[in-house]
Amino acid sequence: MHAPGTDPVDAPGAGPMHAPGADPVDVPGTAPLNAALLLLADSRLPAGGHGHSGGAEQAVTDGTVRDLPTLEAFLRGRLATAGLTAACLAAAACAHALAAAPPAVPDRMSPGCTAPDHTTGTRDRISPPDAPGPLDWAGLEAEADARTASPAQREASRVQGRLLLRTARTIWPSPALDALASATAPDGPHHPVALGAVAAAAGCTPGQAALVAAYASLTGPATAAVRLLGLDPVAVHRLLACLAPALETLSATAARPAAWEALPARAAPALDLLAERHARAGLRLFAS
């Protein structure tokens, strides 16, 4: 595919991502790519997210979601309400954790890894300042509580947040995560707050934390609908691809700094009612 002795990444026409001498993960005008972002967005991360449908199971039971067009309407509505709120909370939590305790960047022989990492640079591990105290997280947790009217949704959010935090403290140890765990014990933090704090510990930006939160607000219900209705998974993923521009726009909006009390509070009464009916259902495939 390329001339002998020619490095394909330096070949003419290779594109700006592979210009000679340029770092392929540092493109002007964009945030540096972070592989941890992929891990956070992966449903296989052992944090329990695969067990929650985001209201889709009850919507299928009620007949609100029954095919691809109704699933699209459900996902667009969820993204504009609960998705936006979660993205803003995640971005705020990420910014707060970064300001209080910058992430520790593992070196090649990070004590937290089982083998040398030859894919990273030689940056020294950062010695973070004192992590935020328990009371510093209480305000954001209160804002998340105020934006989650349904008791069933509050419970589901905290269950997912608790599991994510427990997993992340092993993968990305951080004083900020320890402080969040201490501040929210024994119930655990709301999932968007935990996600934002974990994103910071993994070296992500507030905008990236918002993107993962918004993405999760769509993929959970979409995957559940495939299982519940037997929809074509390719068609459902095409739908998710069509929603990608909306995800990017929303995450950029959510990443704008704002006082916690001024964060969006998009109400979704239909989702609240679905959550409450689902919690009382006798036979369920998903936890929420």
Cα radius of gyration (the chain): 20
Top CATH class, 63-101+129-264: mainly alpha
Instruction: Identify the band that residue 118 occupies on the pLDDT scale cut at 50, 70 and 90.
Output: very low
- Tokens encoding 217: 């607000």
Instruction: Identify the band that residue 152 occupies on the pLDDT scale cut at 50, 70 and 90.
Output: very high
Q: Where are the alpha helices (DSSP H) in the chain?
A: 35-41, 56-62, 68-78, 84-100, 134-146, 151-171, 175-184, 191-201, 206-229, 233-242, 244-254, 269-279
Q: What DSSP assignment string belongs to 184-223?
A: HTTT---HHHHHHHHHHHTT--HHHHHHHHHHHHHHHHHH
- Taking the model in full, what pTM does it have? 0.79
Cα(247)–Cα(254) distance, rounded to whole angstroms? 10
Residue 71 CB coordination number (10 Å)? 25
The per-residue pLDDT for range 74-102, each reduced to its tens digit, is: 999 999 999 999 999 999 999 999 987 66
